[in-house]
């Protein structure tokens, strides 16, 4: 059956042939098989049997375009051949057509076609009067039914494999879109939030404290350059083939001091890893700290905060980001927040969701909430052992 295989289910060959070429292969195969079986039946059963054998095989040439129609056409011809010419091998083209139905049609239609094919062929072979022992007839029915069912199972398996591959491909596209969206959110939201908030601070203090305004504008410039650098880095990752591009190009622990310096609020950073972290965990740590600092800028203005990164043995790393100042309403801040940030504050954003997603992807956990004494705390625990990432 190699020549009759379904083109879509054999990627090594299907990648070289187009649909039209596969139809040509089917046509040539059907004609050759029709000639071979026709000649064989002509020698044993006369010209009538040979002609019927040839006619039954010819519809197989278009099995890919009309699988069910071809199957039932071949099935009707096979039953006719058994009843009137005694051609017992007529189940072979039925099995070939049924294989295509199993490989291409939905499960319910395929199962119905299997039942009709087995029932019709078995009935024709068993009940048509022939001068042969009953045991031989029963053996022929079992043999034909077994091979027909086997080909149906092969076709069904190939259809399921193809469906699984399509689902996996769609899931990979969805995962990649989510990854890109997450990276864009982390890069754009953090730096643009810092730029927007610090620009309002600079405008608010420009007349009363020029030095503070100058320092704040310097932070705006730093945040803008950092945003451009990360955007270029991310675009480079997206354009680079291979699985290792991301780990080689994305930020990690070494970039945390620069992140803390350019965040806006005064950040007390404590990084105490006993050993290098896996690249995926390093990226998750960096993005969680980045988003937590973004929330501090949006919700607490210039409040001081602490970032602690520590290893809990060789198996996990813990991240804690705490700011002691309570979250303030927009009217309580010493400057006016941009309207875009006001809408995000009132309607909620994707920051906490994104942080939890990154923690879960590494097999870890993340909790976040207000402190009893005021302020806010983000705590994450990420395992560092191989095989924990999801």
Question: Residues 90-147: pLDDT tens digits?
Answer: 888 999 999 999 999 999 999 999 999 999 988 888 877 666 677 777 888 899 899 9
Q: What is the pLDDT of residue 249?
A: 56
pLDDT confidence band for 5 (50 / 70 / 90): very low
Confirm whether pTM is higher than 0.75: no
Average pLDDT over residues 316-333: 70
Q: Tokens 């100058």 — which residue?
A: 214
Highest mean predicted confidence (pLDDT) among 21-35, 59-73, 190-204, 243-257 = 59-73
Lowest mean pLDDT among 115-119, 239-243, 248-252, 319-323: 239-243
Cβ within 8 Å of residue 49, ≥6 positions away: 41, 42, 81, 85, 86, 87
Q: Tokens 């029915």 — which residue?
A: 141
Q: Which helix (H) or strand (E) holds 155?
A: helix 134-184
Cβ within 8 Å of residue 262, ≥6 positions away: 194, 219, 222, 223, 226
Lowest mean pLDDT among 3-17, 63-77, 172-186: 3-17
Q: How many beta carbons lie within 10 A of that of residue 231, not counting itself?
A: 15
Q: Are residues 326 and 374 in contact, defined by beta-carbon separation less than 8 angstroms?
A: yes
How many residues make up the chain in this entry? 390
pLDDT confidence band for 242 (50 / 70 / 90): low
Our CA angle for 21, 27, 31, nearest 5°, is 150
- Where does the chain hold its CATH 3.30.565.10 domain(s)? 169-383
In this predicted model, which residue has the larger pLDDT, 244 or 291? 291
Q: Which residues pair with 316 in a beta bridge?
A: 383
pLDDT confidence band for 260 (50 / 70 / 90): confident
Q: What is the pLDDT of residue 158?
A: 92
Could you report how far apart the first and last alpha carbons of the chain are, in Å?
41
Cβ within 8 Å of residue 43, ≥6 positions away: 50
Q: What is the pLDDT of residue 302?
A: 56
- What CATH topology corresponds to 169-383? Heat Shock Protein 90 (3.30.565)
Q: Tokens 């080909």 — which residue?
A: 151
Alpha-carbon span 100 to 9, nearest angstrom: 11
Q: What is the pLDDT of residue 108?
A: 92
In this predicted model, which residue has the larger pLDDT, 111 or 225? 111
Q: Which helix (H) or strand (E) holds 109?
A: helix 107-127
């Amino acid at each position: 059956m190699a020549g009759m295989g379904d083109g879509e289910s054999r990627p090594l060959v299907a990648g070289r042939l187009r649909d039209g070429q596969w139809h040509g292969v089917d046509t040539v195969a059907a004609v050759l098989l029709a000639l071979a079986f026709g000649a064989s039946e002509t020698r044993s059963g006369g010209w009538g049997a040979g002609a019927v054998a040839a006619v039954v095989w010819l519809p197989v040439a278009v099995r890919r375009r009309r699988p069910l129609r071809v199957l039932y056409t071949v099935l009707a011809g096979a039953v006719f051949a058994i009843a009137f010419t005694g051609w017992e091998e007529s189940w072979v083209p039925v099995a070939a057509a049924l294989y295509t139905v199993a490989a291409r049609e939905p499960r319910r239609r395929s199962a119905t076609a299997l039942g009709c094919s087995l029932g019709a062929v078995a009935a024709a072979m068993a009940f048509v009067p022939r001068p042969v022992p009953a045991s031989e007839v029963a053996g022929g029915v079992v043999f034909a039914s077994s091979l027909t069912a086997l080909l149906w199972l092969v076709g069904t398996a190939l259809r399921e494999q193809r469906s699984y591959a399509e689902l996996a491909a769609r899931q990979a596209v969805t995962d990649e879109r989510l990854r890109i969206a997450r990276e864009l959110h982390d890069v754009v939201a953090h730096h643009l939030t810092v730029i927007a908030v610090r620009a309002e601070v600079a405008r608010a203090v420009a007349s009363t404290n020029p030095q503070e305004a100058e320092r704040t504008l310097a932070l705006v410039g730093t945040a803008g350059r950092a945003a451009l650098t990360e955007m270029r880095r991310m675009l480079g990752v997206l354009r680079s083939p291979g699985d290792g591009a991301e780990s080689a190009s994305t930020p990690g622990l070494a970039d945390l001091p620069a992140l803390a310096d350019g965040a806006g609020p005064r950040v007390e950073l404590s990084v105490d890893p006993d050993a290098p972290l896996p690249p995926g965990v390093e990226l998750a740590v960096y993005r969680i700290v980045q988003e937590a600092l973004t929330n501090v800028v949006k919700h607490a203005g210039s409040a001081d905060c602490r970032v602690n990164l520590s290893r809990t043995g060789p198996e996990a790393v813990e991240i804690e980001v705490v700011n002691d100042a309570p979250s303030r309403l927009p009217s309580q801040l010493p400057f006016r927040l941009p309207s875009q940030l006001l809408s995000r504050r009132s309607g909620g954003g994707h920051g906490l969701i994104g942080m939890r997603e990154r923690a879960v992807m590494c097999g870890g956990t993340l909790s976040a909430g207000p402190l009893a004494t005021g302020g806010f705390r983000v705590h994450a625990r990420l395992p560092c052992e191989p095989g924990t990432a999801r």
